[in-house]
Amino acid sequence: MTEKGKPMNISPTEAEETLAAIQKISQKTRHAIASSGTFITLIATGVVWLIGFTCTQFLTGDILGYIWTGLSILGGILGTFLGFRMAPRVHNPSASATAKRAGIFWLLLILYGIATILIVRPTDGKQATMLIILFIMIGQLSMGLLVSFSSVWWALPITGLALIGYFLLPGIFYLWMAILGGGGMIAFGLYIHSRW
Amino acid sequence: MNISPSEAEEALAAIQTMMQKTRRAISSSGAYLFMIVWGMIWLLGFLGSQFLRPDLGGYAWMVLDTMGGIISAIIGIRMGRGVRSSSPGISGKRIAIFWLLLFLFCIATVAISFPADGKQYAMYIILFVMTGWVAMSMLLSFASVWPGLIITALALIGYFLLPGIFYLWMAVLGGGGMIALGLYIRSRW
């Protein structure tokens, strides 16, 4: 419909051209996401979650703290290293300013996450884990403000899966998060890398 | 690196000009209006929570939040008409989606931590609003992050150290502080 409310007439050729243009733009967007290094973050985080949550499901005691700390440090180093290796391909004058803002934001988000955990006073590990997951996903979605939501929408199904696991499958919550959360991130990262 | 006194003076003057320009940009954007509106809502809402029965306080918050949402939407639409940007639709849409998602995440936090008391719920909302504020600062201007951080710190001090007068504390320092800051930005920046 046109803005005056009359039907808009377009020929089959014009419609075909418009659809081709839309397809080209979405293809370009996908290529941009694939070459931006998003998949590295996804795979690194996915591996950390897969191993960490599997261990949390089957192990107990202090060793879990060490495993999570070790995995988080390793994942962080790996993600940063691979991210830097990809950095020369990206030429953007405002990239460093944006990266600085994003870095400060993540630091503040960690503090807000800690404050929330202090106020909630979690009664078990699952509650604390869910809060951490929520804040990580808020961080990812916030990055959508800077870049675009098309590169961070995956945070929503992960959050949905986490909530389903927490409320409906508490007995296998950690295993659920390992396979569907961690595994899903790895699979999606690989898919972006190879197909987009 | 050796620089002469006059070069140093020039560099400082340039920094000062930049800061002045940033302040003017924030002031003329009309963002202070949101601070005044939500400062008044916090002032009235938290006073209600402190002095009214819990059920009445809850209703007061519902009415105030609805009013705040409507007024904010009207201000936002009016501001949007006055702003000339190459991609106003995209930015506006992104911001709206972000706040909607943040609202859903706040509900998820409340559901996960259920049951909790009124002060805990109030703190969740404050923390999520301030998280949104920090995210907006990342998008718009990082200088505007400071009020958000100060309000968060005040809220945490009130919650942990002054639980008996937490709502009054938030009404006066949180709500009143936002109103004062909004008026200050309007008149001085």
The per-residue DSSP string of A156-168 comes to HHHHHHHHHHHHH
For residues A141 and B98, is the Cβ–Cβ distance under 8 A? yes
Q: Give the model's pLDDT for residue A95.
A: 64
Of the candidates B98, B108, B130, which has its C-beta nearest A145's C-beta?
Answer: B98
Packed helices B118-139 and B145-161: angle between N→C axes, nearest 10 degrees:
160
Q: Flag if B98 and A137 touch (Cβ within 8 Å).
A: no
Residues of chain A with pLDDT > 90: what percent? 38
Spell out the residues 6+ positions from residue B143 whose beta carbon is closer than 8 angstroms to its own.
Answer: B22, B23, B26, B137
Span B22-32, average pLDDT: 67
Q: Does the complex come out with an ipTM higher than 0.85?
A: no
Average pLDDT for chain A: 81
A97 touching B, CB under 8 A?
A: no
Q: Tell me the pTM.
A: 0.76
Residue-wise pLDDT for A36-68, tens only, equals 666 788 888 899 999 999 999 999 888 998 999
Spell out the residues 6+ positions from residue B24 whose beta carbon is closer than 8 angstroms to its own.
Answer: B189
Residue-wise pLDDT for A83-102, tens only, equals 667 655 555 556 677 777 88
**Shortest CA distance to B124 belongs to which of B143, B108, B101, B135?**
B108
Q: Flag if A131 and B135 touch (Cβ within 8 Å).
A: no
Q: Flag if A127 and B112 touch (Cβ within 8 Å).
A: yes
Contacts with B138 from chain A: Cβ below 8 Å: 101-102, 104-105, 142, 145-146
Q: How confident is the model at residue A142 (pLDDT cuts 50, 70, 90)?
A: confident
Of the candidates B105, B111, B123, which has its C-beta nearest A138's C-beta?
Answer: B105
Q: Flag if B124 and A156 touch (Cβ within 8 Å).
A: no
Q: Give the model's pLDDT for residue A7.
A: 47
- Phi and psi torsions of B103, nearest 5°: -60, -45
The one-letter code for the residue type at B67 is: M
